[in-house]
A = this chain, B = another copy of it.
Amino acid sequence: MIIDIHGHYTTEPQSLFAFRDKQLAGLIDATRKPTTNDLGITDEQLEQSVQRQLAFQKERGSDITIFSPRASGMGHHVGPEWVSQEWTRMNNNLIHRICSLLPENFIGVGQLPQSPGVDPRNCIPELERMVNELGFVGVNLNPDPSGGYWTDPPMTDRYWYPIYEKLVELEIPTMIHVTGSCNPNFHATGAHYINADTTVFMQLIQGNLFKDFPTLKFVIPHGGGAVPYHWGRYRGLSMMMKKPPLVEYLMKNVYFDTCVYHQPGIDLLAKVVPVENILFASEMIGAVQGIDPETGHYFDDTRRYVDAAKNLSDEDRYKIFEGNARTVYPRLDAILKKRGL
Protein backbone atom coordinates (compact mmCIF):
# COMPACT_ATOMS: atom_id res chain seq x y z
CA MET A 1 0.00 0.00 0.00
CA ILE A 2 1.08 3.56 -0.59
CA ILE A 3 0.73 6.06 2.24
CA ASP A 4 1.12 9.75 1.41
CA ILE A 5 2.11 11.25 4.75
CA HIS A 6 1.82 14.92 3.75
CA GLY A 7 -1.49 16.26 2.48
CA HIS A 8 -3.25 19.48 3.45
CA TYR A 9 -6.89 20.40 3.00
CA THR A 10 -6.32 23.05 0.35
CA THR A 11 -9.73 22.80 -1.29
CA GLU A 12 -11.84 24.15 1.54
CA PRO A 13 -15.39 25.42 1.01
CA GLN A 14 -15.72 29.19 0.67
CA SER A 15 -17.72 29.43 3.88
CA LEU A 16 -14.55 28.66 5.86
CA PHE A 17 -12.81 31.69 4.34
CA ALA A 18 -15.92 33.82 4.91
CA PHE A 19 -15.84 32.85 8.58
CA ARG A 20 -12.14 33.74 8.81
CA ASP A 21 -12.79 37.16 7.29
CA LYS A 22 -15.52 37.83 9.83
CA GLN A 23 -13.40 36.50 12.69
CA LEU A 24 -10.54 38.87 11.86
CA ALA A 25 -12.79 41.80 10.91
CA GLY A 26 -14.40 41.33 14.32
CA LEU A 27 -11.10 42.20 15.96
CA ILE A 28 -11.31 45.66 14.43
CA ASP A 29 -15.06 46.15 14.43
CA ALA A 30 -16.94 43.99 16.92
CA THR A 31 -20.16 44.28 14.93
CA ARG A 32 -18.59 42.13 12.21
CA LYS A 33 -17.88 39.16 14.47
CA PRO A 34 -19.25 35.87 13.16
CA THR A 35 -22.52 35.10 14.88
CA THR A 36 -21.87 31.35 14.92
CA ASN A 37 -19.02 28.84 14.61
CA ASP A 38 -21.32 26.53 12.67
CA LEU A 39 -20.16 26.91 9.08
CA GLY A 40 -23.21 25.12 7.73
CA ILE A 41 -21.05 22.87 5.55
CA THR A 42 -22.89 19.63 4.75
CA ASP A 43 -21.28 16.21 4.51
CA GLU A 44 -22.00 16.24 0.79
CA GLN A 45 -20.13 19.54 0.40
CA LEU A 46 -17.16 18.13 2.29
CA GLU A 47 -17.05 15.00 0.15
CA GLN A 48 -17.43 17.14 -2.93
CA SER A 49 -14.55 19.38 -1.85
CA VAL A 50 -11.99 16.53 -1.87
CA GLN A 51 -12.87 14.95 -5.20
CA ARG A 52 -9.66 16.19 -6.77
CA GLN A 53 -7.60 14.54 -4.02
CA LEU A 54 -9.52 11.29 -4.54
CA ALA A 55 -8.98 11.44 -8.28
CA PHE A 56 -5.24 12.03 -7.83
CA GLN A 57 -5.00 9.14 -5.36
CA LYS A 58 -6.52 6.87 -7.99
CA GLU A 59 -4.54 8.26 -10.91
CA ARG A 60 -1.19 8.25 -9.12
CA GLY A 61 -1.81 5.04 -7.22
CA SER A 62 -1.61 6.15 -3.62
CA ASP A 63 -3.99 4.60 -1.09
CA ILE A 64 -4.32 6.85 1.88
CA THR A 65 -3.32 10.43 2.68
CA ILE A 66 -2.35 11.74 6.09
CA PHE A 67 -4.44 14.87 5.96
CA SER A 68 -4.13 18.10 7.94
CA PRO A 69 -5.47 21.65 7.65
CA ARG A 70 -3.91 23.96 5.04
CA ALA A 71 -0.49 24.87 6.43
CA SER A 72 -0.38 28.43 5.17
CA GLY A 73 -3.88 28.88 6.58
CA MET A 74 -2.89 28.12 10.19
CA GLY A 75 -1.84 31.74 10.59
CA HIS A 76 -0.57 31.45 14.14
CA HIS A 77 0.70 35.02 13.98
CA VAL A 78 -2.71 36.41 13.08
CA GLY A 79 -4.62 37.94 15.99
CA PRO A 80 -4.45 37.08 19.67
CA GLU A 81 -4.31 33.59 21.10
CA TRP A 82 -8.05 33.06 21.36
CA VAL A 83 -8.34 33.60 17.61
CA SER A 84 -5.77 30.86 17.02
CA GLN A 85 -7.59 28.56 19.48
CA GLU A 86 -10.98 29.05 17.83
CA TRP A 87 -9.61 28.79 14.29
CA THR A 88 -7.60 25.68 15.12
CA ARG A 89 -10.56 23.81 16.61
CA MET A 90 -12.67 24.59 13.54
CA ASN A 91 -10.02 23.42 11.12
CA ASN A 92 -9.28 20.26 13.07
CA ASN A 93 -13.00 19.52 13.20
CA LEU A 94 -13.26 19.77 9.42
CA ILE A 95 -10.36 17.34 9.01
CA HIS A 96 -12.06 15.01 11.47
CA ARG A 97 -15.31 15.10 9.51
CA ILE A 98 -13.57 14.38 6.21
CA CYS A 99 -11.64 11.48 7.73
CA SER A 100 -14.87 10.08 9.20
CA LEU A 101 -16.65 10.35 5.86
CA LEU A 102 -13.78 8.85 3.84
CA PRO A 103 -11.79 6.74 6.31
CA GLU A 104 -10.17 4.66 3.59
CA ASN A 105 -8.73 7.72 1.89
CA PHE A 106 -7.80 10.10 4.67
CA ILE A 107 -6.43 9.87 8.15
CA GLY A 108 -6.18 12.96 10.31
CA VAL A 109 -3.33 15.11 11.53
CA GLY A 110 -4.04 18.35 13.37
CA GLN A 111 -2.79 21.87 13.71
CA LEU A 112 -2.03 23.40 17.09
CA PRO A 113 -3.45 26.65 18.50
CA GLN A 114 -0.01 28.24 18.73
CA SER A 115 0.48 31.97 19.11
CA PRO A 116 3.80 33.87 19.18
CA GLY A 117 5.21 34.31 22.67
CA VAL A 118 2.43 32.23 24.23
CA ASP A 119 3.37 29.24 26.40
CA PRO A 120 3.12 26.08 24.27
CA ARG A 121 1.41 24.41 27.26
CA ASN A 122 -1.74 26.19 26.12
CA CYS A 123 -1.79 23.88 23.09
CA ILE A 124 -2.06 20.73 25.14
CA PRO A 125 -5.85 20.54 25.56
CA GLU A 126 -6.31 20.69 21.77
CA LEU A 127 -3.47 18.21 21.27
CA GLU A 128 -5.19 15.75 23.60
CA ARG A 129 -8.55 16.36 21.97
CA MET A 130 -7.29 15.75 18.45
CA VAL A 131 -5.73 12.44 19.40
CA ASN A 132 -8.17 11.11 22.01
CA GLU A 133 -11.42 12.41 20.56
CA LEU A 134 -10.77 13.02 16.87
CA GLY A 135 -8.51 10.00 16.33
CA PHE A 136 -5.64 11.92 14.74
CA VAL A 137 -2.31 10.14 14.30
CA GLY A 138 0.04 13.13 14.33
CA VAL A 139 0.27 16.88 14.64
CA ASN A 140 1.93 19.77 12.85
CA LEU A 141 4.16 21.91 15.04
CA ASN A 142 5.17 25.40 13.91
CA PRO A 143 8.75 26.35 14.88
CA ASP A 144 8.05 30.02 14.12
CA PRO A 145 4.62 31.13 15.34
CA SER A 146 5.61 34.73 14.51
CA GLY A 147 5.27 33.98 10.80
CA GLY A 148 8.74 34.91 9.59
CA TYR A 149 10.39 36.87 12.39
CA TRP A 150 11.52 33.88 14.43
CA THR A 151 10.93 35.44 17.83
CA ASP A 152 10.24 32.25 19.81
CA PRO A 153 13.05 30.03 21.14
CA PRO A 154 14.72 27.27 19.09
CA MET A 155 12.97 23.89 19.08
CA THR A 156 15.60 22.41 21.37
CA ASP A 157 14.73 24.89 24.12
CA ARG A 158 12.92 23.69 27.24
CA TYR A 159 10.16 26.13 26.25
CA TRP A 160 8.86 23.41 23.93
CA TYR A 161 9.30 20.47 26.30
CA PRO A 162 5.66 20.31 27.52
CA ILE A 163 4.61 19.62 23.92
CA TYR A 164 7.26 16.94 23.50
CA GLU A 165 6.26 15.25 26.75
CA LYS A 166 2.70 15.04 25.52
CA LEU A 167 3.73 13.77 22.06
CA VAL A 168 5.72 10.99 23.67
CA GLU A 169 2.86 10.13 26.01
CA LEU A 170 0.35 10.06 23.13
CA GLU A 171 2.77 8.13 20.89
CA ILE A 172 2.47 10.48 17.94
CA PRO A 173 5.15 12.08 15.77
CA THR A 174 5.16 15.71 14.81
CA MET A 175 5.70 17.27 11.44
CA ILE A 176 7.68 20.50 11.70
CA HIS A 177 5.67 22.88 9.53
CA VAL A 178 5.51 26.66 9.51
CA THR A 179 2.49 28.55 8.31
CA GLY A 180 2.38 31.59 6.00
CA SER A 181 4.87 34.40 6.34
CA CYS A 182 4.01 37.98 7.24
CA ASN A 183 7.64 38.96 6.60
CA PRO A 184 7.88 40.36 3.06
CA ASN A 185 11.34 38.82 2.74
CA PHE A 186 9.97 35.28 2.81
CA HIS A 187 7.72 33.80 0.19
CA ALA A 188 5.75 31.15 2.06
CA THR A 189 6.25 28.03 -0.03
CA GLY A 190 9.40 29.18 -1.85
CA ALA A 191 11.44 30.37 1.12
CA HIS A 192 9.81 30.22 4.56
CA TYR A 193 8.87 26.51 4.38
CA ILE A 194 12.26 25.40 3.10
CA ASN A 195 14.18 27.68 5.48
CA ALA A 196 12.23 26.36 8.47
CA ASP A 197 13.06 22.76 7.55
CA THR A 198 16.76 23.61 7.24
CA THR A 199 16.77 25.74 10.39
CA VAL A 200 15.21 23.12 12.65
CA PHE A 201 17.52 20.37 11.43
CA MET A 202 20.49 22.57 12.32
CA GLN A 203 18.96 23.32 15.74
CA LEU A 204 18.79 19.58 16.33
CA ILE A 205 22.50 19.27 15.52
CA GLN A 206 23.31 22.08 17.97
CA GLY A 207 21.10 20.83 20.79
CA ASN A 208 20.73 17.33 22.07
CA LEU A 209 16.96 17.05 22.17
CA PHE A 210 16.68 13.32 21.62
CA LYS A 211 18.83 12.59 24.63
CA ASP A 212 15.91 13.91 26.67
CA PHE A 213 13.25 12.42 24.37
CA PRO A 214 14.69 9.24 22.85
CA THR A 215 11.34 8.14 21.37
CA LEU A 216 10.26 11.52 19.99
CA LYS A 217 9.91 11.63 16.22
CA PHE A 218 10.23 14.70 14.00
CA VAL A 219 9.14 14.62 10.38
CA ILE A 220 10.90 17.40 8.47
CA PRO A 221 8.93 17.96 5.27
CA HIS A 222 9.84 19.21 1.79
CA GLY A 223 12.60 16.69 1.51
CA GLY A 224 14.34 18.07 4.61
CA GLY A 225 14.68 21.61 3.21
CA ALA A 226 18.26 22.17 2.07
CA VAL A 227 19.71 19.44 4.26
CA PRO A 228 20.22 16.49 1.89
CA TYR A 229 21.74 18.75 -0.80
CA HIS A 230 24.18 20.01 1.84
CA TRP A 231 24.57 16.66 3.61
CA GLY A 232 28.36 17.06 3.59
CA ARG A 233 28.07 20.46 5.25
CA TYR A 234 25.85 19.02 7.98
CA ARG A 235 28.05 15.99 8.52
CA GLY A 236 31.03 18.33 8.72
CA LEU A 237 29.39 20.86 11.05
CA SER A 238 28.28 18.03 13.31
CA MET A 239 31.86 16.75 13.45
CA MET A 240 33.24 20.23 14.18
CA MET A 241 30.79 20.47 17.08
CA LYS A 242 32.08 17.13 18.43
CA LYS A 243 28.72 15.45 17.93
CA PRO A 244 28.38 11.76 17.03
CA PRO A 245 28.17 10.92 13.31
CA LEU A 246 25.00 12.50 11.96
CA VAL A 247 23.12 9.30 11.13
CA GLU A 248 23.76 7.85 14.54
CA TYR A 249 23.08 11.15 16.29
CA LEU A 250 19.79 12.24 14.72
CA MET A 251 18.45 9.67 12.33
CA LYS A 252 16.70 7.50 14.88
CA ASN A 253 14.35 10.43 15.42
CA VAL A 254 14.27 12.56 12.28
CA TYR A 255 12.54 11.73 9.01
CA PHE A 256 12.36 13.56 5.68
CA ASP A 257 9.46 13.36 3.27
CA THR A 258 9.63 13.13 -0.52
CA CYS A 259 8.08 16.52 -1.35
CA VAL A 260 10.88 17.32 -3.79
CA TYR A 261 9.49 18.06 -7.20
CA HIS A 262 11.98 16.76 -9.73
CA GLN A 263 13.85 13.52 -10.36
CA PRO A 264 17.42 14.68 -9.54
CA GLY A 265 16.25 15.92 -6.13
CA ILE A 266 14.66 12.59 -5.20
CA ASP A 267 17.70 10.75 -6.56
CA LEU A 268 19.95 12.76 -4.26
CA LEU A 269 17.64 12.28 -1.27
CA ALA A 270 17.58 8.52 -1.81
CA LYS A 271 21.33 8.46 -2.21
CA VAL A 272 22.46 10.38 0.87
CA VAL A 273 19.73 9.84 3.47
CA PRO A 274 19.20 6.34 4.92
CA VAL A 275 16.14 4.80 3.32
CA GLU A 276 14.64 4.20 6.78
CA ASN A 277 14.39 7.97 7.20
CA ILE A 278 12.44 8.73 4.02
CA LEU A 279 8.64 8.89 4.01
CA PHE A 280 6.60 9.06 0.85
CA ALA A 281 4.65 12.31 0.46
CA SER A 282 3.42 14.57 -2.30
CA GLU A 283 1.65 17.54 -0.66
CA MET A 284 -0.67 17.27 -3.65
CA ILE A 285 -2.70 20.32 -4.69
CA GLY A 286 -0.26 22.27 -2.57
CA ALA A 287 2.69 24.53 -3.23
CA VAL A 288 3.32 23.55 -6.84
CA GLN A 289 0.22 22.65 -8.77
CA GLY A 290 1.23 22.74 -12.41
CA ILE A 291 2.46 20.23 -14.94
CA ASP A 292 6.20 20.13 -15.54
CA PRO A 293 6.72 20.95 -19.21
CA GLU A 294 9.95 18.92 -19.10
CA THR A 295 8.14 15.69 -18.17
CA GLY A 296 4.47 16.24 -19.03
CA HIS A 297 3.55 15.17 -15.49
CA TYR A 298 2.50 17.08 -12.42
CA PHE A 299 5.47 18.45 -10.46
CA ASP A 300 3.93 17.04 -7.27
CA ASP A 301 3.37 13.54 -8.62
CA THR A 302 6.29 12.40 -6.50
CA ARG A 303 5.45 8.72 -6.77
CA ARG A 304 6.90 8.77 -10.28
CA TYR A 305 10.26 10.01 -8.98
CA VAL A 306 10.42 7.40 -6.23
CA ASP A 307 9.49 4.69 -8.72
CA ALA A 308 12.22 5.88 -11.09
CA ALA A 309 15.00 6.42 -8.53
CA LYS A 310 17.61 3.98 -9.74
CA ASN A 311 19.40 3.18 -6.51
CA LEU A 312 16.28 1.98 -4.67
CA SER A 313 15.41 -1.71 -4.33
CA ASP A 314 11.84 -3.01 -4.06
CA GLU A 315 12.36 -3.38 -0.34
CA ASP A 316 13.56 0.22 -0.11
CA ARG A 317 10.45 1.35 -1.94
CA TYR A 318 8.24 -0.65 0.42
CA LYS A 319 9.85 1.19 3.33
CA ILE A 320 9.42 4.61 1.74
CA PHE A 321 5.84 4.01 0.60
CA GLU A 322 4.54 2.14 3.62
CA GLY A 323 6.86 0.56 6.16
CA ASN A 324 8.48 3.70 7.53
CA ALA A 325 5.11 5.44 7.88
CA ARG A 326 3.84 2.53 9.98
CA THR A 327 6.88 2.89 12.24
CA VAL A 328 6.77 6.68 12.55
CA TYR A 329 2.97 6.85 12.97
CA PRO A 330 2.18 3.93 15.31
CA ARG A 331 -1.45 5.03 15.65
CA LEU A 332 -1.82 4.85 11.89
CA ASP A 333 -0.33 1.38 11.91
CA ALA A 334 -2.77 0.29 14.61
CA ILE A 335 -5.74 1.60 12.63
CA LEU A 336 -4.58 -0.13 9.45
CA LYS A 337 -3.98 -3.40 11.30
CA LYS A 338 -7.47 -3.23 12.81
CA ARG A 339 -8.72 -3.04 9.25
CA GLY A 340 -6.68 -6.12 8.36
CA LEU A 341 -4.20 -4.01 6.35
Contacts and interface: CB of A to CB of B under 8 A. Distances in A.
Given A150-B149, A268-B268, A292 B236 contact: yes
User: How many copies of the chain does the oligomer comprise?
Assistant: 2
Interface in A231-274: 231-237, 239-240, 245, 260-262, 264-265, 267-268, 271-272
A265 B229 contact: yes
Contact of A191 (B199, B236, B287, B300): B199
Contacts of A164: none
A172 to B, nearest CB: 24
A240 B187 contact: no
Contact of A288 (B154, B223, B236, B272): B236
A144 B261 contact: no
Nearest to A196: B195
B185 A231 contact: no
A292 B235 CA distance: 8
A230 B264 contact: no
B199 A261 contact: no
Interface stretch (A32-40, A73-81, A201-209, A326-334): A201-209
A226 B194 contact: yes
Contact of A265 (B186, B205, B232, B288): B232
A328 to B, nearest CB: 22
B186 A199 contact: yes
Contacts of A290: 236, 239-240
A260 B236 contact: no
Interface string A61-93: 000000000000000000000000000000000
A271 B264 contact: yes
Interface string A289-301: 1101110000110
A157 to B, nearest CB: 8
Interface residues of A, number: 59
Nearest to A300: B236
Contacts of A189: 233, 237
A180 interface: no
Contacts of A110: none
Contact of A187 (B149, B184, B203, B268): B203
Contacts of A138: none
A323 B237 CA distance: 31
A260 B240 contact: no
A148 interface: yes
A113 interface: no
A228 interface: yes
A229 B232 contact: no
Given A198-B191, A203-B187, A271-B264, A223 B229 contact: yes
B237 A185 contact: no
Interface of A: 143-144, 148-150, 152-154, 183-187, 189-191, 194-195, 198-199, 202-203, 205-206, 222-223, 225-226, 228-237, 239-240, 245, 260-262, 264-265, 267-268, 271-272, 287-290, 292-294, 299-300
Chain A to chain B: the 6 pairs with minimum beta-carbon distance, closest first? A232-B262, A232-B261, A226-B226, A236-B288, A229-B229, A190-B202
